[in-house]
Structure 1
Amino acid sequence: MSSINPHYTFQYSQPEEYRFSHDSVFLARRVFEFVKDDDWDQARGLDLCSGCGIIGLDFLFHLQNETGKSLAAFDFLEVQSLYHDHFTKNLCELGETKTACHFINDNYQVLSTEPFKESYDIVLSNPPYFQVGQGKLSPSEFKNRCRFFIDSDFRSLILGIENSLAPQGRAFVLLRSLADHGMSYLKEAERLVSKRVSIQSLGDIRGTDLVLLKKD
């Protein structure tokens, strides 16, 4: 896939210390193309490991501007509070929206708790790619928390997604193959989920697997 984004939305506010990659905007566009014909008026969405909100806001931008549709609510779950001000600026750039958008500054382990049970019809996520020990850590704790599973682990991510998906809900997650480290996130996700959740690879985005998790 080209590294040039052909579906520009708007200029994002983001930390200078860690800039988002095109994986995020390509994910938002690809998911939009998968679901654009669905009815979203009563739906709730989640941008998981949201950073400054790029994936969720891009998705909403495409949905509103190309179909005139909107979701009832969209949450943005991010453990690093530094992102909050950037998210607020980016939400203003999105412009008028019927979708109630909320930034939740918390660890994604919260998704496994009762208040989040079966809450979301759609989840989009570009989570950290690496375990600690898989690659060199940066002197920046902020950057490391973006790239590595430090605040929690992959198991908690997948189980949180399963718990928080509504019946017939779908999660679109970028999972990088770590063959060099003898591990496959896709196979690990298949092992972790219950029989209520099906997992399907939808191809790749710039070399990273786009995986669909769907709850019965």
Structure 2
Amino acid sequence: MPRPTSFLDGQLQLLQPERGYRFAADAPILAHFIRCRPTDRLVEIGSGCGIILLILFVKKRFHRIVAVELQPALAELARANVRRHGADAAIRIVTADVRDLAPADVDAPADVVFANPPYRRVGTGRLSPDPARAAARHELSLDLADLFAAARRFLAPDGRFDLIHLWERRADVAAAAVAAGFHPGRSRQVLAFPHSRQPRMFLHSWHPAPAEAVVEPPLVIHEKPGVHSEAFRRIISAAPEDTST
């Protein structure tokens, strides 16, 4: 059994793979970006160990979440983490290929679908020899077209798809979104440092119906090397967050 990782000032004690994929800063950043009512239905595409689900449960009190995870070992870890934190009644993990699922399989239509997907196209970057890590980093089983198709299938007509991705792939993301019939909404750049030459990542809400495109101020992760910004420290703290839309 892997040793738990303490997070949110100790409120979360998360089991993670000792080898393979482990969560990083993008998980709490996406959780922070998601805004909706605690009673809304949420669907996650690719749960990993369940980090985002449990941040939403602890910090935002969301309690109607279904997550889909392709890798059985990660899905079992996510279920174990859900049980460890008493979230069984709020969160359900489905082990499946999201491309094969009908809306009813994830209790859709959902008010919000969200994902922290593999960032790299196959054939770019170094492919990890570890199968779990490779699947988490490269689009081996789920590319952007499949991702947006699943999100569109699961969403209510007035719903929203919240996504985090690499800045360098923003054109690919936008093209896949438009091809699937989505419209841009709220967005935010993520910078490693205040004076970074370009963003590291970006967050974007996509809507099945036309929406107001709002660009929020950038989120800076580090004030300087080894020192988190105040904004990021709040994100990884246990302090409750506003859940309003």
Interval of TM-score (by shorter of Structure 1 and Structure 2) = 0.7 to 0.9
The 5-angstrom pairing of residues 153-172 of structure 1 reads: 153-172=143-162
Q: For each residue in 1:178-206, what CA deviation from the matched residue of structure 2 results, as whole angstroms up to 9, or x when unmatched?
A: 36xxx723322343122xx3223511235
Match of 2:48 among 40, 46, 51: 51
Q: Distance in 1 between matches of 2:67 and 2:53?
A: 7
CA contact (8 A) 1:110 1:116 kept: no
The 5-angstrom pairing of residues 1-216 of structure 1 reads: 7-8=8-9, 9-17=11-19, 18-31=21-34, 34-35=35-36, 38=37, 40-41=38-39, 43-64=40-61, 70-71=62-63, 73-95=64-86, 99=90, 101-111=91-101, 113=102, 115=104, 119-178=109-168, 184-194=171-181, 197-206=182-191, 207-216=200-209
Cα separation, partners in 2 of 1:48 and 1:56, compared to 1, 3 Å: same
Deviation at 1:116, TM superposition (A): 5.5
Q: Distance in 2 between matches of 1:109 and 1:153?
A: 10
Bigger proportion of residues as helix = 1
Deviation at 1:47, TM superposition (A): 1.6
Question: Which amino acid counterpart does residue 210 of structure 1 have in structure 2?
Answer: L
How many equivalent pairs are there?
193
Q: Distance in 1 between matches of 2:98 and 2:143?
A: 9
Deviation at 1:94, TM superposition (A): 2.5
Gaps of 5+ in 1: 1-5, 65-69
What is the TM-score when the length of structure 1 is the normalising length? 0.79
Cα separation, partners in 2 of 1:168 and 1:143, compared to 1, 3 Å: same
Question: Which amino acid counterpart does residue 28 of structure 1 have in structure 2?
Answer: A
Q: Report % sequence identity.
A: 23
| Secondary structure, counterpart of 2:17 in structure 1 | coil
Please tell me the root mean square deviation across aligned C-alpha atoms, in Å: 2.5
Cα separation, partners in 2 of 1:13 and 1:213, compared to 1, 3 Å: same
Q: For each residue in 1:142-194, what CA deviation from the matched residue of structure 2 results, as whole angstroms up to 9, or x when unmatched?
A: 11001011113210111110111012111110121336xxx723322343122
Q: Distance in 2 between matches of 1:7 and 1:202?
A: 25
Gaps of 5+ in 2: 1-6, 192-199, 210-245
Deviation at 1:92, TM superposition (A): 2.2
Cα separation, partners in 2 of 1:63 and 1:22, compared to 1, 3 Å: same
Q: Distance in 1 between matches of 2:72 and 2:154?
A: 22
CA contact (8 A) 2:44 2:114 kept: yes
CA contact (8 A) 2:111 2:159 kept: yes
What is the TM-score when the length of structure 2 is the normalising length? 0.70
Q: Distance in 2 between matches of 1:201 and 1:188?
A: 17
After superposing the two structures, state which structure 1 stretch, 131-140 or 114-123, moved more.
114-123
Aligned to 1:67: none
Cα separation, partners in 2 of 1:205 and 1:97, compared to 1, 3 Å: farther
